[in-house]
Amino acid sequence: MPVMATLMSRQHLLTYIYLLVYISLSSGVILYNKWVLSTLYFNFPFPITLTMIHMAFSGGVAFFLIRVLKVVAPVKMTIHIYVTCVVPISAFFAASLWFGNTAYLYISVAFIQMLKALMPVATFLVAVTLGTERLRCDVFWNMVLVSVGVVISSYGEIHFNVIGTVYQVSGIAAEALRLVLTQVLLQNKGLTLNPITSLYYIAPCSFVFLFIPWYILEKPEMEAPHMQFNFWIFFSNALCALALNFSTFLVIGRTGAVTIRVAGVLKDWLLISLSTVLFPESKITGLNVIGYAIALSGVVCYNYLKIRDVRTSQLQITPDESEKELLMEKKADDDVSSNKETLWNDSFSDSHSHSHSHFDEEAPLMYSSRISHLGRKPA
C-alpha cells in the first residue's frame, strides 16, 4: 500500500508538472508574440513573417524527426488526400495564424483573450452548417450567452479598435473552419495525424499559402534600413511555439478533456492579469470583466454539455454492440495483416489513438495560440 500511494503521488505530481508547463508555454507564447510584434517593444510589426518563421521551423524539426531520426514513420499520403484534405486545412490554418497574429498590432492581449471566448460559437455554427453537428436548443442558448458576454466586454473596451477586432474574429472563423474540416476530411478517411506528422504535412503547405500575402504586404516594408532581425529572439520564439504544440498533445493524452478545459479557463484569467502587468498600456474596465465572466460561464456550460454527451454515448454501448465492435476490429486487423497496407503506420497508431480522441474533443475550444493547431496553434 505505501508503494502504491507513492506511485500515485508521483503520477499526480507529474500530471501537475505537465499542466504547469502547458499553462506556462501557452501564456508565454502569446505574451512573447505580443512583445515581438508590438511597436512599443521589440518593434517587429510583421505578423506574416513571424508566422512563416514558425511554420518553417516547425516543418524543419518535423522533417528531421521523421526522415533523419525516424522517431515516427510518415503516413501513407496519396496525392489525392493531400490535395483534397491537407491543402484546404493548411489554407485555413495559415489564415487563422495570420489574422490572429495581426490582431496583436491593434488590440491588447486581454481583449484578444476575451474575443477568443467566441471560439466555441464559431465552431458550433460551422459544424451545424457543414452537417457534422445538429442544432440543439441547450447548446444554442449557451452560444447566445457567450456572444452577449463578448459584446458587453467589447463595449467596455477602452481602446476598442475595429481593424484589430475584425482580424481577431476572422482568425477565429478560420480556425473553426480548420477544426471542422479536419474532422470531416481527415478523420472520415481514417487518417489520423499526431503532432509530428501534422507539422510534417501541414506546416510546409501553410508556409506556401502565407508567402503570397507576405510578398505583397510585408516584403516591401522589410527592405527598409531600420528593420531589425535578432536570430536568437526569433529562434527562441519559434522553439516556444513548437514546444507548446507538443505539450498540448501530451497534456490532453495524460489528463483528458475535462482537466485541460479547466486548465484553459485558469490560463485565460492568468493571461489577462499578466498582460495588464507586462503591458501597462492595456487597461481593463469593470465592464470588460463582467462581460468576459458572462461569456466564460457560457463556455463552462458548453464544456459540461460536451463532456456529458461523450459520457452518455459511452454508456449507451451495450455488451452486444461492444462484442460486434470487437469482431469488426479483429476482422479489420486481419485484413490489414494480410494486405500489409493501412492508411497510417502501425508504429504509432495504437499508441496515439486514445490520446487523439481526447484531442478531438478538446479541439473546438483550443485556439491556435493554444494548440497550434496543429490543434490549437502557436499564436
Single pTM value for the model: 0.78
pLDDT band at residue 3 using 50, 70 and 90 as cut-offs: low
Mean pLDDT on 108-121: 92
pLDDT above 90: residue 227:
no
Q: Kind and range of the H or E element at 365?
A: none
How confident is the model at residue 379, as a pLDDT?
A: 42
For residue range 59-86, list pLDDT tens digits in order.
999 999 999 999 988 888 889 889 999 9
Whole-angstrom Cα distance, residue 253 to residue 64? 24
Mean pLDDT on 334-353: 37
User: Is-contact 342 98, C-beta < 8 A?
Assistant: no
Residue 285's nearest CA partner among 145, 156, 166, 109 is 156
How confident is the model at residue 232, as a pLDDT?
A: 94
How confident is the model at residue 10, as a pLDDT?
A: 78
How confident is the model at residue 317, as a pLDDT?
A: 54
How confident is the model at residue 248, as a pLDDT?
A: 78
Total Cβ atoms within 10 A of residue 133: 17
Helix ranges (H only) for the chain are 2-37, 47-63, 79-81, 87-102, 109-115, 119-130, 137-155, 162-181, 195-213, 219-222, 231-255, 257-278, 286-315, 319-339, 346-362, 368-371
Q: What percent of the chain has pLDDT over 90?
A: 45
User: Which of 16-20, 52-56, 88-92 has the weakest average pLDDT?
Assistant: 16-20
pLDDT band at residue 98 using 50, 70 and 90 as cut-offs: very high
For residue range 158-182, list pLDDT tens digits in order.
889 999 999 999 999 999 999 899 8
pLDDT above 50: residue 376:
no
Crossing angle (nearest 10°) for helices 47-63 and 231-255: 60
pLDDT band at residue 132 using 50, 70 and 90 as cut-offs: confident
pLDDT band at residue 194 using 50, 70 and 90 as cut-offs: confident
How confident is the model at residue 354, as a pLDDT?
A: 35
Mean pLDDT on 190-210: 90
Residue 64 has φ and ψ, to the nearest 5°, of: -65, -40
> Which grid cell is 75?
503516413
Q: Is the dihedral of CA 15, 17, 21, 24 positive or negative?
A: positive
How confident is the model at residue 345, as a pLDDT?
A: 38
How confident is the model at residue 6, as a pLDDT?
A: 67
The whole-chain average pLDDT of the chain stands at 80
For residue range 262-286, list pLDDT tens digits in order.
788 888 888 999 999 999 888 889 9
Map out the domains of the chain as residue ranges. 18-218+234-314
pLDDT above 80: residue 11:
no
User: Is-contact 356 194, C-beta < 8 A?
Assistant: yes
* Three-state DSSP string of 158-203: CCCCHHHHHHHHHHHHHHHHHHHHHHHHHHHHCCCCCHHHHHHHHH
Mean pLDDT on 225-253: 85
pLDDT band at residue 294 using 50, 70 and 90 as cut-offs: very high
User: Which of 111-120, 139-148, 222-231, 301-310 has the weakest average pLDDT?
Assistant: 222-231
Looking at mean pLDDT, say which of 67-71, 99-103, 351-355 comes out highest: 99-103
Whole-angstrom Cα distance, residue 370 to residue 27? 8
How confident is the model at residue 217, as a pLDDT?
A: 94
